[in-house]
Structure 1
Amino acid sequence: MLYPELFKSLEAVRWNMDADIPWDSFDASLLSDEQAQTIKMNAITEWAALPATEMFLRDNRGDSDFSAFMSVWFFEEQKHSLVLIEYLRRFRPDLVPTEEELHKVRFEFDPAPALETLMLHFCGEIRLNHWYRCAAQWHTEPVIQFIYETIAQDEARHAGAYLRYMRRALNDLGDDTSAEAKRAFCKIGVLMASAKRTSQALHPTNLHVNRDMFPNDTVQSKLPEPGWLEHWLDEQIRFDSVWETKVADRILHNLSVLFGQPFKSVQELNRFRKGLDRPAESVQAVA
């Protein structure tokens, strides 16, 4: 089982919201209304770890190891929401999300293949790490800069934990699961490393997850300002092609290590993905 080791490693670096956040360094003159509004939107977005955890537990009923790890992931992700809310409570109480606003992002996600979802969230953690690092540079108030840098480090550790479960799927769960995992990881990897080619921010909270609620079936669509994410990325923190390249490079690097084969571009990964499907197609043709 991976859970006991992951619990121990994450517990060793866990930060304390009272003792480790430099609340006394707050400088009101360095926090604009525009910046404060984005903190509220991120606090609500982070609250969506709640329905994501419900999804993970439902779709991984046969995997108690991974389901147990969700106890750590859920705690730390909800803590991200809580620390952003606490920042607003202390310094901009007029912007603290209401319980209704938080509850609105809790809705049911349709069932999805567990391995594809695992890879999607692995990529999402990498992307969020970079978003928050970029946000820390955009902000000018030192306490919120520290908070974003702190939770960015959590997201990187979460990506590392998901990577452990991805490696387990490839190496420890049998040939059938390994083959399925390779196809799933490559398929989602091609998608999530190709963000420069899309107008949509590629993150789990911005993807459609409930067919019956379409098109209002993304976490972002449930926020008080549904279009805020693209504006935050494009016009505020300016998450540009340089940052997107960093995200794609991290995804490709990790898949290179995972598969023991270098992928220097999305095109190389996509060719590898297509190669995985050829044997099955050949067998069907012969039959």
Structure 2
Amino acid sequence: MLYPELFKSMEAVRWNLATDIPWDDFDASKLSDDQAYTIKMNAITEWAALPATEMFLRDFREDSDFSSFMSIWFFEEQKHSLVLMEYLRRFRPELVPTEEELHKVRFEFDPAPALETLMLHFCGEVRLNHWYRRAADWHTEPVIKSIYKTVAQDEARHAGAYLRYMKRALVHQGKEFGHQARLAFSKIGVLMASAHRTSQALHPTNLHVNKALYPQDTVQSQLPSPGWLEHWLDNQIRFDGEWEGKVSTRILHNLSLLMDRTFHTAQDLNRYRKQLSKELSPA
């Protein structure tokens, strides 16, 4: 099992909301209204770990190891929402999300292939790490800069944990299952490493997940300002092609290590995916 080791490693570096955030360094002159509003939107988005956890526990019911790891992931993701709300409570109380605003992002996600979901969330954590690093650069107020740097480090650790479960899927559950896992990981990897070709921000909270609610079935669509994410990325933190390239490079690097191949581009990965698909097709 991976859960006991992951628990110990993450417990050892877990930060304390009361003592590890430099609350006393707050400088009101360095926080604009626009900046404060994006903190509210991110606080609500992070709250979506709640329906995501419900999805994971449903779709990974046969995997008690991974389901137990969800206790760590859920706790730390909800703490991200909590620390952002605590920041607003202290310094911009009028922007603290209401319970109704938080509850709106809790809706059921349709069942999906578990291995694809695992890969999707690995990529999502990689992307969030880079988004929050850019957010830390964009903000000028010292306390929120520190908060975004802190949660970015958490997202990187979460990506590493997901990667370990992906590796386990390749080697611990039989050759046929491993082949299916490679196909699932490469399929989602091609999509997430090609985000520069889309106008949509490719993150789990921005993807359609409930056919019955379409088109209001993304987490972002349930926010008070559904279009804020693209504006935040394009015009505020300026997550440009260079930064998107860093995300793609990170995804491809980790898949190269995982598959024991070299993928320099999404096209390389797509060729590998097609090869796997042919091998799995009936003669």
Structure 1 segment 126-141 matched on structure 2, within 5 A = 126-141=126-141
Displacement over 2 Å in runs of 4+: none
- Per-residue CA deviations over 1:140-178 (Å, capped at 9, x if unaligned) read 000000000000000000000000000000011111210
Shift of 1:119: 0.1
Shift of 1:278: 1.4
* CA distance in 2 between partners of 1:239 and 1:120 (Å): 20
Structure 1 segment 180-199 matched on structure 2, within 5 A = 180-199=180-199
* CA distance in 2 between partners of 1:280 and 1:223 (Å): 41
Residue type of the alignment partner of 2:150: T
Q: In structure 1, what is the equivalent of residue 212 of structure 2? A: 212
Residue type of the alignment partner of 1:216: Q
Structure 1 segment 235-274 matched on structure 2, within 5 A = 235-274=235-274
- Per-residue CA deviations over 1:29-77 (Å, capped at 9, x if unaligned) read 0000000000000000000000000000000000000000000000000
Gaps of 5+ in 2: none
Q: In structure 1, what is the equivalent of residue 60 of structure 2? A: 60
Structure 1 segment 63-212 matched on structure 2, within 5 A = 63-212=63-212
Shift of 1:105: 0.2
TM-score, length basis structure 2:
0.99
Shift of 1:280: 3.0
TM-score, length basis structure 1:
0.98
Q: In structure 2, what is the equivalent of residue 3 of structure 1? A: 3
* CA distance in 2 between partners of 1:278 and 1:104 (Å): 42
* CA distance in 2 between partners of 1:115 and 1:97 (Å): 33
Shift of 1:227: 0.4
* CA distance in 1 between partners of 2:141 and 2:169 (Å): 43
Q: In structure 2, what is the equivalent of residue 16 of structure 1? A: 16
What secondary structure does 1:36 align onto?
helix
Shift of 1:250: 0.2
* CA distance in 2 between partners of 1:154 and 1:25 (Å): 22
Residue type of the alignment partner of 2:141: E
Shift of 1:279: 2.1
Residue type of the alignment partner of 1:86: E
Q: What count of residue pairs does the alignment treat as equivalent?
A: 283
Residue type of the alignment partner of 1:212: A
What secondary structure does 1:134 align onto?
helix
What secondary structure does 2:53 align onto?
helix
What secondary structure does 1:173 align onto?
coil
- Per-residue CA deviations over 1:202-257 (Å, capped at 9, x if unaligned) read 00000000000000000000000000000000011100000000000000000000
- Per-residue CA deviations over 1:96-137 (Å, capped at 9, x if unaligned) read 000000000000000001000000000000000000000000
* CA distance in 2 between partners of 1:10 and 1:270 (Å): 34
* CA distance in 2 between partners of 1:147 and 1:242 (Å): 24
* CA distance in 1 between partners of 2:129 and 2:169 (Å): 24
